[in-house]
Amino acid sequence: MQKYFLSVLSRLFNTHTNDVILLDPILDQQAQQYLRECLSLLVNRELPHNWHLVPSSEYAWVAYLREIPDIFPRSIYFKLYLNRNRWERLKSAIRGSRARRARQQNELLVTYGFNAPKTYGWGIMGQSEFLLTQGLTGQGLADYIYSHWRHPLQRDQIIHKRYIIKFLALQIAQLHQAGFIHGDLRPNNILIDNSKDDPNFSFIDNERNQFYADAPPIRKVIKNLVQLNMIFPMVLTKTDRLRFYQQYRNTRELSLSDWLSIMDKVTRITASRMNNKHPPINE
């Protein structure tokens, strides 16, 4: 760990630094050697054989390897963190880099019983910081919803949709109840695995998450709920949304007055952002 912080400080002052590559010791020698060889290309934004580019923000470069049966039975994701502004290195030296925060937040979520990416490796090569994680089973929630819930739906599809909404509300309520606020709860930062009887959810892009030992601030809760309220504008009815909110309230055991206050703010902020572009759909 000391070596890592010295490397961050060296980058801050533009001095020479040796590469820092920290790989999970659970990986066998063959797997570690393979990743080290791939990293020499990935940090330069070059794709090794069988790796594929993933669309991402302008401040990151992401690629994935689907699998190598004899080495990695599951996919691997590589994320290169790009400086967002000239103060990025200073903030990294003070509060910890984005890669380091993402790793810590992933581990914290898992500690509390939530699904998040397992870290295979992280570190610095040259002026670039990276994170290697194991791929999770599931599909981005928005992708799933828009491919499965477009109207008209059959009766059994409506019942199954409501069942998933209930479990989603339960998971988000438990997340907040545990003290977590997700830093970027956009649609595809929640993965859904619907291959078993009960849907299973995972959280990704956790670097901006916040954890509170006590209950998280209401304004942060509202922010997450607004994000969720906006991601399905053309496929969720008012009844669907009410079912979500009722399950959320019951799980968190919120008083009626507190809940009405939260819902008033969520509704007004959502309506303002939607700007009347997506009229409600009636089942």
> What is the predicted pLDDT for the residue at 232?
65
More confident call, 282 vs 139 = 139
Q: How far apart are CA 83 and CA 85, in angstroms?
A: 6
pTM of the entire structure? 0.85
Q: Residues, the chain, total? A: 283
Q: Which of 157, 227, 224 is nearest to 194 (CA)?
A: 157
Read off the pLDDT of each residue in 59-64 and give the average, rounded to a whole number.
94
Read off the pLDDT of each residue in 35-51 and give the average, rounded to a whole number.
94
> What is the predicted pLDDT for the residue at 16?
43
- The torsion angles phi and psi of 225, rounded to 5 degrees, stand at -70, -35
Q: How far apart are CA 215 and CA 188, in angstroms?
A: 25
Residue labelled with tokens 């925060």: 101
In this structure, of 89-93, 140-144, 240-244, 246-250, the range with the lowest mean pLDDT score is 89-93
Read off the pLDDT of each residue in 48-71 and give the average, rounded to a whole number.
91
> What is the predicted pLDDT for the residue at 98?
85
Query: Which homologous superfamily does the CATH classification assign to the domain defined by 2-134?
Result: Phosphorylase Kinase; domain 1 (3.30.200.20)
Instruction: Give residue limits of the domains in the chain.
Output: 2-134, 139-274
> What is the predicted pLDDT for the residue at 22?
87
> What is the predicted pLDDT for the residue at 10?
55
> What is the predicted pLDDT for the residue at 79?
95
Let me know if the fold of 2-134 is the same as that of 139-274. no
Q: Apex CA 252: angle with CA 178 and CA 238, to 5°? A: 120
Q: Count the neighbouring beta carbons within 10 Å of the beta carbon of residue 234.
A: 14
Close Cβ partners of 276 (under 8 Å, ≥ 6 residues apart): none
More confident call, 69 vs 76 = 76
Q: Taking the mean position of all CA atoms in its chain, how far away is CA 250?
A: 25
> What is the predicted pLDDT for the residue at 150?
86
Q: Is the pLDDT of residue 245 over 80?
A: yes
Q: Is the pLDDT of residue 263 over 90?
A: yes
| Fold topology of 139-274 | Transferase(Phosphotransferase); domain 1 (1.10.510)
In the chain, at which residue ranges do the beta strands (DSSP E only) sit?
Answer: 20-23, 51-54, 60-65, 76-81, 119-125, 128-134, 139-140, 180-181, 190-193, 200-203, 210-211
DSSP string across 205-271: --TT-EE-SSPPPHHHHHHHHHHHHHS-TTT--HHHHHHHHHHHHHHHT--HHHHHHHHHHHHHHHH
